[in-house]
Amino acid sequence: MGAPRRNRKKYSKPKNMWNLQRITSDRSLINEYGLRNMKELWKVQTEISRIRGNVRGLLSGASSSSHIERDIIGRLSRLGVTQSDATLDSLLDIKENAILERRLQTLVFRKGLANSMKQSRQIIAHGFISINGVRVNRPSYLVKADEEKHIGYYKPIDITKKVKPQEEASAAPAPEAQGVAASEGAEAS
Handedness of CA 141, 95, 78, 7 (dihedral sign): negative
Entry pTM:
0.80
- Closest to 103 measured CA to CA, from 131, 83, 126, 84: 131
pLDDT tens digits for 136-177? Answer: 999 999 999 999 999 999 988 888 888 888 766 566 565 555
Class of residue 185 by CB neighbours under 10 A (exposed 0-12, middle 13-18, buried 19+): exposed
Integer Rg of the chain from CA: 25
Average pLDDT over residues 30-40: 96
Evaluate whether 96 touches 41 at the Cβ level (below 8 Å): yes
Confidence at residue 169, expressed as pLDDT on a 0 to 100 scale: 58
Confidence at residue 166, expressed as pLDDT on a 0 to 100 scale: 78
Tell whether the model's pLDDT for residue 104 goes beyond 80.
yes
Confidence at residue 189, expressed as pLDDT on a 0 to 100 scale: 47
Average pLDDT over residues 101-122: 96
Average pLDDT over residues 81-96: 93
pLDDT tens digits for 53-84? Answer: 999 999 988 766 788 889 999 999 999 999 98
Mean model confidence pLDDT for the chain: 88
Evaluate whether 92 touches 52 at the Cβ level (below 8 Å): yes
Confidence at residue 160, expressed as pLDDT on a 0 to 100 scale: 85
Tell whether the model's pLDDT for residue 178 goes beyond 80.
no
Q: How confident is the model at residue 185 (pLDDT cuts 50, 70, 90)?
A: low
**Domains identified in the chain and CATH numbers:** 10-100 (no CATH), 103-166 (3.10.290.10)
